Chain A
Amino acid sequence: MKTVGKPVRKKDAMQLLTGQPLYTDDIAPRDCLIVKLLRSPHASAVIRSIRRDIALKVPGIEAIYTWEDIPQDQRRFTLAGQTYPEPSPYDRLLLDRRVRYVGDPVAIVAGADERCVERALSLIKVEYEVQEPVLDFRKALDNPILVHPEENWESLCPVGADNRRNLCAHDESSHGDIEKVLSECDLVLDRVYHTKACQQTMMETFRTFCTLDAYGRLNVVSSTQIVFHCRRIIANALNIPKSMVRVSKPRIGGGFGAKQTSVCEIYPAFVTWKTKKPSKIIFTREESMTASTPRHEMEMHVRLGAMRDGRIRGIDLHTLSNTGAYGEHGPTTVGLSGHKSIPLYGKAEAFRFVSDVVYTNVMSAGAYRGYGATQGLFAVESAVNELAAQLHRDPFSVREQNMVREGDVMPAYYGQVNTSCALDRCLARVREMIGWEEKYPARDMGNGRVRGVGMGMAMQGSGISGVDVGSAALKLGEDGYYNLIIGAADMGTGCDTILAQIAAEVLDCGVEDIVVFGADTDASPYDSGSYASSTTYVTGKAVETCAVKLRRQICRLGARLLGCGEDETEFDGKYVRRISGEAKDGQGERAPQEKAAGSQRPDPCRRVSLQEIAAASMCGNEIPLQETVTHSSPISPPPFMVGAAEVEVDMQTGRTQVVNYAAVVDCGTPINPNLARVQAEGGIVQGIGMVLTENVTRDEKGRVLENSLMQYKIPTRLDVGSIRVEFENSYEKAGPFGAKSIGEVVINTPLPAITDAICNATGLRFRELPVLPEQIAMGLYTV
C-alpha cells in the first residue's frame, strides 16, 4: 500500500500551526449582530412576565425575543443530531415559557456590539413563578413534579418514553435466564458505580454565524459535526422549510461529541431570519460549562456471576441515566452502557440489561466521546477487577479466560459475530508494556508513596449499524487532480486527510493530488455526520467504493481516446494504457505491463495521460468523470483496546498521579498511524481527567459549581505521566482496507484501570468518579 497505513501529515496542518484565520469567529462578517442569551437563574420556573421595553432603549440594540415571540403550541424539536426517525424526544421550543434548568434561555438579545447587548441583558425584567425542581436523578422517575408536563411533548420512536413519569426512555434486553444462572454461580458481585456529567471541553466553545444568501435563504456557518442534522434542527426550530437553510462548517476547534448537538445554532439563525441581518453567537466558556451538552450522568448497578475458577457466567446490568432537562441523546447513549460492555465477556451464558433514562432539572446531557460505553465499561470492567481481587486472581488472567474472541457470536451486541478482533494480542502486549509481572499489585516506593497498577478492556462500535450513512463524491479536475467532496466533518481528527489517503490508495496518486471539501449541505453529498465512530469506517468505505467507480470512468474515457474497448485498458494512476491480449490474459496483470512500458518508448496510440483525459472530459464529452457513492453498513465492527495504568499515591495527602499508561488498540488497519496514535493519547488523557480531576457538583438550587476552567480541571501536561500506545491490527473485511474506528474506544480504559490501580495502591475501592485526593486521604485516615 502506498498511502494507507502511512503517517502522512494532516492536509491542513501547517495552516493550523501558523495560526491562519480558519475558524468560525475568524471568518464571520465584521458587522454581525452580536447575539447573547438571557438565562434562567432557577432550575424550574414559569415566566410570569417579562419586560423588554427598557432594555430595547439601549443604543445599538436591534431586537429582543422572548417566549411571547414563539408559538408555545408549535411542534417541539430536539437539538440532538441524529438520523430519522430521531430517537431523542421532541421536547424543546426556541424559547419556552417554562424554564427547566439554571441556564435555560429566557430571552435572545441582538445588538451592535457586546457592550450594548450585555447592558440590555441586565435591563430585562423577568418575573418568575419559581417551582420546586427535581434535582436528584435517583428520585426523578414517577416523581409528582414533572419536568415536561406540556401536551405537545412528543416521542417519535418507541423508546419507552413517558413524560408523565419523567421518563425519557426505558429498555430491556436479555439472553438466557439470568436469574437462574446467577443462582447457580459460586459468587455474585453486586455493585453500584456512578459517573458524572463531565464536559467535552473542546478548546473552541460553541459558535455560529448566519447571513442571508442571494436567494434570501439562511446561510449558517457553524462549528458543528453534523451539518445535515443541523439543517433539519434549525428548520424545525424556526418552522421554515429545510430548503431555506444551508449549513456549512469551517475548521472546528474540537468537538468530542459536543458539536453533535446543535447547542447554539438556532439562536443566531432566528435573529438573522427575523432581522435579515448577519448575526453571530459565541458561547463563553461559562456558558459552555453550564448550558451545553455534557456526558450523561449514570448510575450502574451490576450483578456479576462467576464460578470459583474464574469463569464469568452471567452479567446483569441496570443503568439509570440522567438526561437532564431535555432528552438530547438520552434514549441512545444509555444503550451503549450495556451493549458495549457486556459483549466483552462473550462466554457468559446469560445477560440482562435494563435501562431507565430520566428527566431532571439540570442542564441537558448529550454526546461525549464514548457515548455511554465509557460509563458502562467503567462499571463492568471495575466489577471484573473486583471479581479478580476477590478470587485472588490476576485481572489479566480472568480476562484471558473470559473475553470475547474473533468469530464469537455476541448476544449482547445484537447477536453480531465478532468479525475482527485482536483483543487477545492487545491484552498480552499491554501486560508486557506496563511491566505487570514486576509491578502488580503495588510497590511501596519508600518515600511515603505507593505505586499501584490496574487495567481495563474496552470496545466501541464503528458507526451505527443500518443507520449511519456516509457519502463521498469524487471528480477529476483539470490537471489530473481530484476533488473529494464529503459531508463528514473534520473536527481536528484529520478525517479530511484520512479519507484522502483512502482515495489516493485506490486512484494510485499522492494524497496531495486529492483536494478535500466538506462539509456543506448545499454542496456535499448526504452524510449523517462525524460521530458514533463512523467516519473512517462508514464514509471511508464510501470513498473507497467511489474511487473504484471513478477509476472505471477514467478507463472508459481513456478507452474512447485510445479507440479500444474499456476492458482492454488499465489505469496506473498516471496513464490509461491499452493492454495487449497476452498481458490481459496473464495472471500478473499490471506489473509486466508497467515493466514493458518502462523499457520501451511510450507509444501514443497505446496510452493516454490523466491530464489528457481530464482535458478531453471538458470538450464534447458525455462520460462523466465524477462519481458519488453512498454507503451504510449493516454491522458495526467493534474496535478493541486494553489499557493499564501505573499510579503513584501520596499516602499522606492522597495526591494521585498517573506515572505510566500503556495501551494497545485494535482499530483494524490504522489508515494513518500518527493520527490514530494521537486519537488514542488524547482519549486516554480525557479518561484520566474523568477519573482524577474533572468533577461536577451542584448547589442546592441546581447550579453547576464547576463553571470555568478554573474549577473544572482538565488535565495539563503535568498531570498525565507517560502514555505509550501501540497497535495490534486485526483486519475488518467490511471496512476500507480493513479499518475499523478509533475515535471513541480510546477514552474508556482509564476509568477502570486507574481506579483499580488506586485500589491496589491504597486498598480503597472507589465506585464514584472522580476520585479526589481528599477522598483518598480521608479514606486512608479512616482505615
Chain B
Amino acid sequence: MRINIILNGRNIQAETAPDELLIDFVRKQGALSVKRGCETSNCGLCTVFLEDKPVLSCSVLAVRADGKRVTTLEGLKEEAEQFGAFIADQGAEQCGFCNPGFVMNALALFRENPDPDEEEIREYLAGNLCRCSGYEGQLRGIQAYLRWKKEAAAGRDTPPDKK
C-alpha cells in the first residue's frame, strides 16, 4: 500500500506494508539518525516527532503516519546543533547511539516546558536510556543550555561555541 507523509518538510509517497513500523519506513527514506535499541519500546532511541509530538517510531505503524508530518533529527539540524554543543561540552554524547532519540526528546521537552527544573528533566527523559554517560553529563549539558537560553532571552547573548 502507498502512503503519503511529510518527512522533514518533504512530501514523500512510498510503498509500505501493513505491518511495517515507522522506524523502518523512515530509515528506508534515508532518515538514518533514527536508531533501534530494543524491540520492546523501552529505550527511547527511535524517538521521532509525529505532528510535533514525540513518539517511539518502533511502536507506530508507518500507515499511522499517512498524511501526517514526521520529523527526525535530520529535520532539526539547527536546533540539534545548538543544543548538542552543550552536550558535547560535557563529553556526554559518548558512543552517540542514543543521541538522536535523546536530543529529539530533549527538544520536545524544551518546546513543552521552556524552563524545566531538574526533576522535570529527569522525569521527561526517563524513557531515554543511555548506557555510557550515567546521565549526569547529559543533565549538566541540558542545564547549561537552559542557562544560555535564559541569558540570550535577557539580551546577554553569548553564542554557543561551534568548534
Q: Which of A15, A18, A19, A674 has the most CB of B within 10 A?
A: A19
Q: Which of B34, B85, B135, B139 contacts A14 (CB 8 A)?
A: B85
Interface string of A712-724 (1 = CB under 8 A from B): 0010111010110
Binds B, one of A249-257, A438-446, A585-593: A249-257
CB within 8 Å of B: which A1-22 residues? 7, 9-10, 12-22
Q: Known contacts A14-B84, A19-B100, A718-B123; is A202 also within 8 Å of B95 by CB?
A: yes
- Which segment of A91-99, A404-412, A489-497 sits at the interface? A489-497
Contact with B along A273-285 (1 / 0, CB 8 A): 0000000000011
Binding site of A, secondary structure by majority: helix, strand, loop or mixed?
loop
Q: Do B91 and A7 have beta carbons less than 8 Å apart?
A: yes
CA distance A12 to B139 in the complex (A): 20
Which A residues lie within 8 Å of B89 (CB)?
7, 9, 674
In the bound assembly, the distance between CA atoms of A253 and B100 in angstroms comes to 12
Which of A101-109, A625-633, A681-689, A734-742 lines the interface with chain B? A681-689
Tell me, rounded to whole Å, the shortest Cβ–Cβ distance linking A525 to chain B: 24
Instruction: Find B96's partner among A7, A251, A285, A675 (CB 8 Å cutoff).
Output: A251
Is there contact, CB below 8 Å, between B39 and A285? yes
Q: Name the interface residues of A667-722: CB closer than 8 Å to any CB of B.
A: 672, 674-675, 677-678, 680-686, 708-710, 714, 716-718, 720, 722
B57 within 8 A of A: no
For B79, the closest partner residue in chain A by CB is: A18
Nearest residue in B to A716 (C-beta to C-beta)?
Answer: B126
Query: When the two chains form their complex, are residues B37 and A203 in contact, meaning their CB atoms are under 8 A apart?
Result: yes
Q: Which residues of A contact B40 (CB under 8 A)?
A: 285, 708-710
Query: Do A254 and B97 touch across chains, with their CB atoms under 8 A apart?
Result: yes
Cross-chain contact B80 with A682 (CB below 8 angstroms): no
Measured between beta carbons, the chain B residues less than 8 angstroms from A720 are 134-136
Task: Please give me the residue from chain A that is nearest to B137 by CB atom.
Answer: A678
Whether the Cβ atoms of B130 and A203 lie closer than 8 Å is yes
- Whether B150 sits at the interface, judged by CB under 8 Å, is no
Of the four ranges (under 10, 10 to 19, 20 to 34, 35 or more), the interface on chain B belongs to: 35 or more
CA distance A126 to B71 in the complex (A): 45
A26 at the interface (CB under 8 A from B): yes
Minimum CB distance partner of A684 in chain B: B134
Do A682 and B131 touch across chains, with their CB atoms under 8 A apart? yes
Decide if A681 touches B38 in the complex (CB within 8 Å).
no
Q: Which residues on A sit within 8 Å (CB–CB) of B33?
A: 18-21
Binary per-residue interface labels of chain B (87-106) against chain A in the complex, 1 for a CB within 8 Å, 0 otherwise = 11111111111111001000
Known: A18-B77, A492-B132. A677 touches B98 (CB 8 A): no
A464-497 at interface with B (beta carbon < 8 Å): 491-494
A709 x B42 contact (CB < 8 A): yes
Per a CB cutoff under 8 Å, which of B126, B136, B137 touches A718? B126
The answer for the CA separation of A26 and B87 in the assembled complex, in Å, is 23
Complex: chain A residue closest to B138, CB-CB = A717
Chain B residues contacting A517 (CB-CB under 8 Å) are: none
For residue B63, CB closer than 8 A to chain A, the reply is: no
Considering the chains assembled together, what is the distance between the CA atoms of A492 and B97 in angstroms?
Answer: 9
Query: B residues bordering A, Cβ < 8 Å?
Result: 32-35, 37-40, 42-43, 45, 72-74, 77, 80-81, 84-85, 87-100, 103, 122-123, 125-139, 162-163
Q: Residues of A with Cβ closer than 8 Å to B?
A: 7, 9-10, 12-23, 26, 200-205, 251-256, 284-286, 491-494, 512, 672, 674-675, 677-678, 680-686, 708-710, 714, 716-718, 720, 722-723
